[in-house]
């Protein structure tokens, strides 16, 4: 970097040349922090610290750009806490923090994942974004999402609506018990199972467990992404 030709009027700091970087100052500060704090993401999402989420997005972008594989890996692992790649981890995540993640954060993660080639977090990210109202999804765009990603989100949103509409009456009632009921195809139905009779509650549990897994397997296809085997192969090859 310092061997590149510099302007004759270049600023100096303590006798050293100052190099202007084209990157966000906030993102670059997070990247530098990652050098000195190797355990900055060790707590996962347990602390519900959204500043760490933003830091992970910025670090992923810059560590990919400047070819820093070890730091890139750490940022990916942190984002995977929010956007898992298997159903069991997703179910656990759904009961903790991701539900409270603002849509603007999810949009940023989608954009960074596209830019950095981390497609395997996109099915879960698109799912969470699809739970938002249309006005929220389209707010502040196209600064945050590309036309292609907006289209993918809306197509997946409709597929989730259809998936819910195709279920039996008990499952439909369970879905209706949720705030964003039309697309809540992967969320827990414990709210309604607590007030059902034993037979209906047992049926709901058995039926929805299988259905949730089926929906999870179809998420990539619905959002216009490669299927899970290809996504997981890319993850393993990183």
Return the higher-pLDDT residue of 96 and 128. 128
CB 122 within 8 A of CB 113: yes
Give the residue from 135, 190, 130 showing the smallest Cα distance to 161.
Answer: 130
Whether 108 is covered by a domain: the verdict is yes
Task: Using alpha carbons, select from 53, 173, 61, 170 the residue that is nearest to residue 106.
Answer: 53
Residue-number span of the structural domain to which 169 is assigned: 82-237
- Partnered with residue 16 across adjacent β-strands are 13
pLDDT at 203 > cutoff 80: no
Find the range with the poorest average confidence among 66-70, 115-119, 203-207.
Answer: 203-207
Contacts made by residues 58-63, CB under 8 angstroms, sequence distance 24+? 58/24, 58/26, 58/27, 58/28, 58/30, 58/31, 59/27, 59/30, 59/31, 59/34, 60/112, 60/113, 60/116, 60/118, 61/27, 61/112, 61/115, 61/116, 62/23, 62/27, 62/28, 62/31, 63/31, 63/34
C-alpha–C-alpha distance, residues 136 and 152, integer Å: 15
Residue 62 falls inside a structural domain: no
Distance (Å, rounded) from C-alpha 130 to C-alpha 159? Answer: 10
Q: How open is the CA angle 73-213-225, to the nearest 5 degrees?
A: 50
What is the number of domains present in the chain? Answer: 1
CB 185 within 8 A of CB 215: yes
Stretch among 47-61, 88-102, 122-136 having the lowest mean pLDDT: 88-102
> For residues 6 and 154, which has the higher predicted lDDT (pLDDT)?
154
DSSP 13: E
Give the model's pLDDT for residue 219: 95
Q: What is the pLDDT of residue 97?
A: 55
| Residue 75 resides in a domain | no
Distant-in-sequence, close-in-space partners of 54: CB < 8 Å, separation ≥ 6: 26, 30, 105, 108
Say if residue 227's pLDDT is above 90. yes
Domain membership flag for residue 49: no
Query: How many whole angstroms separate alpha carbon 10 and alpha carbon 160?
Result: 56
**pLDDT given for residue 117 in this prediction:** 97
Distance CA(43)–CA(40), nearest Å, equals 8
Residue 114 forms part of a structural domain: yes
Angle at 189 between CA 97 and CA 78, to 5 degrees: 20
Q: What is the pLDDT of residue 181?
A: 47
Better-scored residue on pLDDT, 214 or 200: 214
Q: 142-146, 147-151, 201-205, 220-224: lowest mean pLDDT where?
A: 201-205
CA gap 16, 181 in Å, rounded: 59
Residue 61 has pLDDT above 70, yes or no: yes
Within a domain: 32 = no
Helix (H, G, I), strand (E, B) or coil at 139: coil
pLDDT tens profile 152-192: 999 999 998 888 776 655 455 545 544 444 455 565 545 44
| Residue with the larger pLDDT of the pair 210 and 154 | 154
Residue, of 186 and 27, whose pLDDT is higher: 27
For 68-109, what is each residue's pLDDT tens digit? Answer: 999 999 999 999 989 999 998 988 877 665 557 888 999 999
Residue 156 lies in a domain: yes
Give the mean model confidence (pLDDT) for residues 52-65.
93
- 153 in Cβ contact with 137 (< 8 Å): yes
- Is the pLDDT confidence value at 137 over 80? yes
Residue 232 pLDDT greater than 70, yes or no: yes
Rounded to an integer, the average pLDDT of 125-135 is 91
Distances (CA, A) of 235 to 4, 136, 214: 35, 30, 21
Residue 22 lies in a domain: no
């Amino acid at each position: 970097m310092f061997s590149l030709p510099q302007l004759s009027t270049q600023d100096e700091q303590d006798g050293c040349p100052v190099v202007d970087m084209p990157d966000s100052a906030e993102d670059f500060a997070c990247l530098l922090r990652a050098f000195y704090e190797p355990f900055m993401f060790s707590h996962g999402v347990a602390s519900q610290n959204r500043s760490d989420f933003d830091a992970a997005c910025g670090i992923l972008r810059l560590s990919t750009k400047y070819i820093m594989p070890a730091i890139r890996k750490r940022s990916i692992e942190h984002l995977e806490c929010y956007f898992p790649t298997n159903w069991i981890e997703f179910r656990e995540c759904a009961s903790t923090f991701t539900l409270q993640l603002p849509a603007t954060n999810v949009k940023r993660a989608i954009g960074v994942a596209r830019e950095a080639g981390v497609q395997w977090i996109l099915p879960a990210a698109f799912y969470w974004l699809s739970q938002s109202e249309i006005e929220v999804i389209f707010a502040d765009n196209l600064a945050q999402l590309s036309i292609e990603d907006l289209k993918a989100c809306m197509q997946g949103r409709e597929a989730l609506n259809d998936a819910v509409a195709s279920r039996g009456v008990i499952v439909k009632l369970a879905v209706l018990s949720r705030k964003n009921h039309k697309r809540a195809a992967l969320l827990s139905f414990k709210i309604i199972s607590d007030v059902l009779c034993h037979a209906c509650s047992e049926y709901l549990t058995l039926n929805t467990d299988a259905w949730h897994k089926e929906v999870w397997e179809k998420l990539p296809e619905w959002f216009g992404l490669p299927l899970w085997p290809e996504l997981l192969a890319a993850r393993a090859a990183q």
